[in-house]
Structure 1
Amino acid sequence: MTTPFYVSPAQAMQDRAEYARKGIARGRSLVVLQYADGIVFVGENPSRALHKFSEIYDRIGFAAAGKYNEYENLRIGGVRYADLRGYTYDRDDVTARGLANVYAQTLGTIFSSQAEKPYEVELVVAEVGATADGDQIYRLPHDGSIVDEHGSVAVGGNAEQISTFLDQRHRDGMSLAEALKLAVQALSNQTNGNDREIPAERLEVAVLDRTRPQQRKFKRIVGSQLARLLEQASDGPSKDESAEAAEPADGADEDAGEK
């Protein structure tokens, strides 16, 4: 009779964590930053059909790096949770903190289960408040832990290098154009010191804008809007100009979640 192969629980968890981290690192990086009027999501994404950023509820946005089919399942589950809670209780009862707890339980259960592989995803759940002090950003790694972030956060790809770049340069009260410029610089930054250029058509950009009169604060920035903001970033725009440029043009894509 052969002796069964034994792996210690600690080694098994370490192997699962390494597997998930390698899968996440193969994806393109994305960044989430606070700016004066809200929170901006920026990532390199050549696809116009498969989004990295989405709306979950009125003031809550979702960003993910890793395997698309896995984080899309999580996004849909989050939308259903938010819709059910908002309908059963009150719309104000749907919060980023509550959603992050739900995602943490799901990811933690999958990570610790030996019956299936861990999810190769890293999530960011953000909620825009009435003021900058009320903004919330939570990062959820593959193991289901929750990290409360402030100012800026990067996930996927070379996230550690990008996070260091952002920590050194991000400041409170930046305009949208300034935050966008910083995000693109961080994503373009290479380990060898030679920055690469990311064209506007390969960028996916969305914001949670607290100044919007609508109840839904999430909107995508595409086409001419994005081009104007990138141009303004080079010229040093005022806050008012940035807000005006970010207003959606006729027919702009605002569909970002299941409602």
Structure 2
Amino acid sequence: MSTPFYVSPQQAMADRAEYARKGIARGRSVVVLQYTDGVVFVAENPSRALHKVSEIYDRIAFAAVGKYNEFENLRIGGVRYADLRGYTYDREDVTARGLANVYAQTLGTIFSSAAEKPYEVELIVAEVGAAPEDDQIYRLPHDGSIVDEHGSVAVGGNADQISSYLDQRHRDGMTLAEALKLAVESLSRDTNGGERRLTAEQLEVATLDRTRPQQRKFKRILGRQLSRLLDESGGDAAADAGAGESGAAGGKGAEDGGSKDNGTKGKGPAGEDGSEGEPLL
């Protein structure tokens, strides 16, 4: 009788973590930013049917990256938990912290179970409060740990590079157009340092807007409204660039007036999900 092959628990967990991280890294990134009136979710997602950002409850929204079937099961479970708790107790008892704890227990149990593979997903749960200091944003990696985030957070793809870019440029009191501009700029950056051009058709955008009079604060930004916001943010950038060029022309002449800041427009999304056959978002 042969001796079964032994793998230490540390090595087994490390292998499972590496497996999950590789799957998550193939998904297109999601960015979540606080702005003056709430929280905005921006995802690179050319699909109009498969959503990476969804509403959970009145003031709570959910964003995910990775395998669609896996995070969709988690989203449905979160909606059922919120509905049951709100019906049994009170709507105010449904919080992002409670939902994040439920997701953490589920992901942690799956990750530590040797009977099934770990989920290739990374989640963000956000709740908008009555004031900016009351907003809550939680990031949940594949192993079920909870990270309390403030200001901005990115998951999936080149999340480390995007997070560093956001940390340097995000500030309190940004308008929705300014936050959207920053999010699109961060998503447009490639891992090799280049930039791509993302259009409204390639983006999924939603907000938790604290100024909405109804209880449900979640709202998707689609179509002409999204195009108008992107044009507004692009127009502000063009105006700033024009002011800088005119100032330089006053001292040096108009020799550089024909140069354009957006000369490298990229070629659209380059299939960051690694393989077309896998349902990775």
TM-score (norm 1): 0.90
Residue pairs, 1:38-187, within 5 angstroms: 38-187=38-187
Q: How far apart, CA to CA, are the structure 2 residues paired with 1:192 and 1:5?
A: 41
Q: For residue 200 of structure 1, report the CA deviation from its aligned partner.
A: 1.0
Q: How far apart, CA to CA, are the structure 2 residues paired with 1:230 and 1:178?
A: 9
Number of residue pairs matched by the alignment: 237
Residue pairs, 1:213-224, within 5 angstroms: 213-224=213-224
Q: How far apart, CA to CA, are the structure 1 residues paired with 2:232 and 2:105?
A: 42
Matched, 1:235 2:235: yes
Q: How far apart, CA to CA, are the structure 1 residues paired with 2:91 and 2:43?
A: 29
Could you tell me which amino acid in structure 2 is paired with residue 25 of structure 1?
A
Q: For residue 192 of structure 1, report the CA deviation from its aligned partner.
A: 2.3
**Which ranges of structure 1 fall in alignment gaps of 5 or more residues?**
238-259
State the partner residue of 1:33.
33
Q: How far apart, CA to CA, are the structure 1 residues paired with 2:236 and 2:92?
A: 36
Report SS of the residue matched to 1:21: helix
Q: For residue 231 of structure 1, report the CA deviation from its aligned partner.
A: 1.1
Report SS of the residue matched to 1:3: coil
Report SS of the residue matched to 2:50: coil
* Percent of aligned pairs with the same amino acid: 82
Does the CA contact (< 8 Å) of 1:53 and 1:206 recur in 2? yes
Q: How far apart, CA to CA, are the structure 1 residues paired with 2:77 and 2:191?
A: 36
Does the CA contact (< 8 Å) of 1:100 and 1:138 recur in 2? yes
Residue pairs, 1:182-193, within 5 angstroms: 182-193=182-193
Q: How far apart, CA to CA, are the structure 2 residues paired with 1:150 and 1:159?
A: 16
TM-score (norm 2): 0.83
Report SS of the residue matched to 1:143: coil
Q: How far apart, CA to CA, are the structure 1 residues paired with 2:199 and 2:164?
A: 23
Does the CA contact (< 8 Å) of 1:178 and 1:236 recur in 2? no
Q: Which runs of 4+ in 1 moved over 6 A?
A: none
Report SS of the residue matched to 1:233: helix
**Superposed CA offset, 1:79-113 (max 9, x none):** 00000000000000000000000000000000000
Report SS of the residue matched to 1:80: helix
State the partner residue of 1:244.
none
**Superposed CA offset, 1:148-189 (max 9, x none):** 000000001110110001001100110000000000000001
Does the CA contact (< 8 Å) of 1:66 and 1:156 recur in 2? yes
State the partner residue of 2:225.
225
State the partner residue of 1:198.
198
**Superposed CA offset, 1:13-47 (max 9, x none):** 00000000000001101100000000000011010
Q: For residue 232 of structure 1, report the CA deviation from its aligned partner.
A: 1.1
Q: For residue 3 of structure 1, report the CA deviation from its aligned partner.
A: 1.2
**Which ranges of structure 2 fall in alignment gaps of 5 or more residues?**
238-281
Q: How far apart, CA to CA, are the structure 1 residues paired with 2:68 and 2:10?
A: 29
Report SS of the residue matched to 2:154: strand
State the partner residue of 2:210.
210
Q: How far apart, CA to CA, are the structure 2 residues paired with 1:107 and 1:192?
A: 32
Report SS of the residue matched to 1:179: helix
Q: What root-mean-square deviation, in Å, do the aligned CA atoms of Structure 1 and Structure 2 show?
A: 0.9
Q: How far apart, CA to CA, are the structure 1 residues paired with 2:193 and 2:148?
A: 30
